[in-house]
């Protein structure tokens, strides 16, 4: 998690700092459904590199938004899931989905 000194003064800026890039939002979208394994996420996010996915997952875990569970099996199995803090973002993402759907409908009706 961020320290008090690392937090922006503005609450909106804080939210943007934590989830404000395309890939983190799309990872969150997937994790709202269920826990995912790394390769599943990688295949589902067209255009993301392994490095960007790894960096995004590490950052989100550090911020307390997701959890990483490593199972002691061969071959190794790791799952990513929303933490309770990440789950608290569900209304934000649901609102974004509703707005996006409305916008798409508006654009589609103009054609």
How do residues 5-19 score in pLDDT, each as one tens digit? 878 888 888 888 888
Whole-model pTM?
0.85
Token pair of 29, please?
A: 């979208």
pLDDT tens by residue, 22-65: 899 999 999 999 999 999 999 999 999 999 999 999 999 999 99
Q: Which domain holds residue 103?
A: 4-110
| 3-class state of residue 79 by DSSP | strand
Rg (CA), the chain: 16
Q: Give the mean model confidence (pLDDT) for residues 70-87.
A: 94
Q: Say if strands 36-37 and 66-71 run parallel, antiparallel, or are unpaired.
A: unpaired
76: CATH: 1.10.10.10
The pLDDT value given to residue 103: 92
State the DSSP H helix or E strand holding residue 60, giving kind and residue range, or none if neither. helix 50-62
Q: Say if strands 77-82 and 36-37 run parallel, antiparallel, or are unpaired.
A: antiparallel
The pLDDT value given to residue 99: 93
Total count of domains within the chain? 1
């Amino acid at each position: 998690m961020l320290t008090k000194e690392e937090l922006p003064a503005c609450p909106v800026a804080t939210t943007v700092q934590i989830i404000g890039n395309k890939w983190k939002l799309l990872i969150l979208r997937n994790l709202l459904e269920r826990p995912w394994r790394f390769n599943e996420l990688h295949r589902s996010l067209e255009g993301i590199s392994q490095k960007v996915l790894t960096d995004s997952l590490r950052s989100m875990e550090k911020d307390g938004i997701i959890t990483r569970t490593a199972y002691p099996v061969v071959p190794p199995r790791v799952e990513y899931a929303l933490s309770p803090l990440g789950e608290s973002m569900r209304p934000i993402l649901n609102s974004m989905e509703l707005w996006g759907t409305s916008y798409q409908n508006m654009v589609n009706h103009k054609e």
